[in-house]
Amino acid sequence: MEKRAQFLLALSAAAAAAFVAVVFVLRWVLHFREGLAWDGGPAEFNWHPVLIVIGFVVLQGIAIIVYRLPWTWQCSKLLMKFIHAGLNLLAFILAVISMVAVFDFHNFAKIPNMYSLHSWLGLAVVVLYGLQLVLGVGMYLIPVAPVSWKAAFMPLHVYSGLSLFITVIAVALMGITEKLIFGLSNPKYKDSPPEALFVNVLGVLLVVFGGLILWIATRTSWKRPSDQVLHALHTSAGGEDNTKVGPALSQLSEGNDAESSSDVRRRGNKLGDEAE
């Protein structure tokens, strides 16, 4: 019970941070900036922070912890995988649209593209996120990969997912920094006008949300019960002998979205006919 209460506390805090962050980014562009439009001007640029915060930060964060929600544990793992993949796909689409908005705005205003560290890391993270999505669907939703491949790939899938999420937030913080320096002229960023303080708080909210998602995603005891059993099974094998089970099976303990071996076997046998 105490475990459940702690989980709900962390989840509520994450939800609150996400909600306030979305309100803040909307108020930023609608109240302090030029609003939203698709006209090549600053109002088109404004879709960039809005879609990044809603899609690439909040939706991706939800996608990461969707297996942790206790009221989903009665649903089939396959359904949850579709939800996980669907949320990530939606986040990816919103991220791509948000990038189109920036390129449009830059081209219209004759500002060079892809010169900043923000743009380098941002493009890299979108490309790698797309790759992660394709590999994830290919490995865990299309029933062709051998069970051993699925297990071996899982620690990398989890590590990449969390790393990309962290990097997205870091890139968003750089974007906020850029926009406040370029966007504020009189008074400037260094004069701390209300917009500067307001958007700094948005940055802090993104960090808090990211920290809470990481905490929730890395508590083994908050996993889906079937995944906890798998976790215990593989780690109790322990020591050097892990290599006999398969090089990466022993590392499933790092996996937060590991499918249970029974799930894997069932899907392997039924060839994807698992819509329970």
Q: Are 203 and 222 in contact (CB under 8 A)?
A: no
The residue within the footprint of a second copy, chosen from 72, 76, 148, 220 (CB under 8 A), is: 220
Min dist CB 258 to a second copy, Å, is 12
The residue within the footprint of a second copy, chosen from 18, 54, 101, 199 (CB under 8 A), is: 199
Q: Residue 139 interacts with a second copy (CB under 8 A)? A: no
Q: Residue 74 interacts with a second copy (CB under 8 A)? A: no
Q: Are 9 and 172 in contact (CB under 8 A)?
A: no
Q: Residue 186 interacts with a second copy (CB under 8 A)? A: no
- Token pair, residue 144, equals 């062709």
For a second copy, which stretch binds (CB under 8 A), given 33-41, 79-87, 183-191, 257-265? 183-191
Q: How far apart are CA 182 and CA 189, in angstroms?
A: 9
- Token pair, residue 87, equals 């949320």
> CB-wise, 62 or 196, nearer to a second copy?
196
* DSSP secondary structure letters along 186-254: TTBGGG--HHHHHHHHHHHHHHHHHHHHHHHHT-GGGS-HHHHHHHHHHHHH-STTHHHH-TTGGGGGG
Q: Residue 219 interacts with a second copy (CB under 8 A)? A: yes
Q: Are 253 and 101 in contact (CB under 8 A)?
A: no
Residues that bind a second copy (CB under 8 A): 2-3, 111-112, 115-118, 120-121, 155, 159, 163, 166-167, 169-171, 173-174, 176-178, 180-182, 189-192, 196, 199-200, 203-204, 207, 211, 214-215, 218-221, 225, 228-229, 231-232, 235-240, 242-243, 247, 250-251, 253-254
